[in-house]
Amino acid sequence: MAETEDRDDRREGYLTEAALEYHAYPRPGKVAIELTKPCNTQRELALAYTPGVAAPARAIAADPEAAYAYTAKGNLVAVVTDGSAVLGLGDVGPLAGKPVMEGKGVLFKRFAGIDVFDIEVEAPDPGDFVETVSRIACGFGGINLEDIAAPKCFEIERALVERLDIPVFHDDQHGTAIIIAAGLLNALELAGKRLEAVRIVCVGAGAAGIASMSLLESLGAPRGNILMVDRRGVVHAGREDLNPYKREVAAETPLRRLAEAVEGADVFIGVSGPDVLTPEMLRTMAERPIVFALSNPDPEIRPEVALATRPDVIMATGRSDYPNQVNNVLGFPFIFRGALDVRARRINRAMHVAAVHALRDLAREPVPREVLDAYQLERLEFGPDYILPKPLDPRLIETVAPAVARAAVESGVARLAPQPAARP
């Protein structure tokens, strides 16, 4: 174990230096604005700005929907943060969150061809944050909320969804939930278990944990079969320290400690911190246990430890160097792509569920050679080490985005009929 930790420390040092150089050269940052129309002659300049720009401005003043025809609104997403829960760094503030928001913009563009403005907001008060985003939202096709601490993230998202008529999506909640759900459905099938019958323990009762359990309920998991655990133990109805969002998921149970909760459980989902699940706890879980240890970079239990303890375990992590990475890039670019393509007014539960099933089904399809080559693999097929598609699978945009678009139309939140998806 000491050798593994030393190796991880050396790798982290190397990655730190490489990451700083990557972000600094040949020019600072990762994103820039590019022109989509020529502006090389006097005529083109007159069309791009004054006096020509007055024509689309008048058209939009007469009909706001014309903004989709004459501006970048329909393919533009605001990635917005207050910097209160940045990756594994915590409350580092909005400016320190900017590299992460730029990174999100890179992923939107790379995987779904979506343009992004990253917006960092100095607003410790949720009401101020909501007011700021509401006032700038008209220029965007959608709002991606990012790295906002719980519980205020719930209040912020709910308020913005109510106020705006464009999609608002908190990826730390729903993006994580969608990928977890897709992977879990496949893991359960491999384990010969049904979602309606398994016992689930989720460690981490913040944004990702609460949203994930809510989505699993929508897919058929009985609330009575779910236990949530936070730093103080099991989230139970007798606790007086629960915020309103934790109280909604509090269980009527005599269990108080994680070790008690996982005994006999079929599923462990960790969105908390390193080494929370001990080998001793894992041994007490049911046959063919499923463990999603998603704390990053250090999981709740390392896969090599879990497999040595329980060879029958199906394991997923948040890391790219282990099989079955639960990675939000499998979801949010294509969910927004589908929503933008039909000008959805919101991203609703039906669209979440459509994304889950699209991802679940894609992992069961034969893997094309270009994906194998991208990951330097000779073979990859549905099984315990492959329960989710790979992020570089080009079929994601052709599968997830149309499924989300159809769900938007069928659930009545779309302004347009779906069009065939194209690779970015």
Give the single-character DSSP code of 231. Answer: T
Known catalytic membership, residue 104 = yes
Considering the candidates 104, 152, 246, 390, report the single residue annotated as catalytic: 104
Q: What are the structure tokens assigned to 318, written together?
A: 């948040």
The answer for 113, left when phi > 0, alpha when psi is -120 to 50, beta otherwise, is left
Contact indicator for 147, 173 with CB cutoff of 8 Å: no
Considering the candidates 14, 49, 70, 375, report the single residue annotated as catalytic: 49
Give the single-character DSSP code of 287. Answer: S
| Distance in angstroms (rounded) separating the CA atoms of residues 289 and 189 | 12
Of the candidates 195, 204, 357, 353, the residue with the CA atom closest to the CA atom of residue 270 = 204
Contact indicator for 400, 358 with CB cutoff of 8 Å: yes
Contact indicator for 142, 166 with CB cutoff of 8 Å: yes
Contact indicator for 212, 177 with CB cutoff of 8 Å: yes
Beta-carbon contacts of residue 18 (< 8 Å; ≥ 6 apart): none
Of the candidates 289, 298, 292, 281, the residue with the CA atom closest to the CA atom of residue 317 = 292
Contact indicator for 206, 150 with CB cutoff of 8 Å: yes
As annotated, the active-site residues are 49, 104
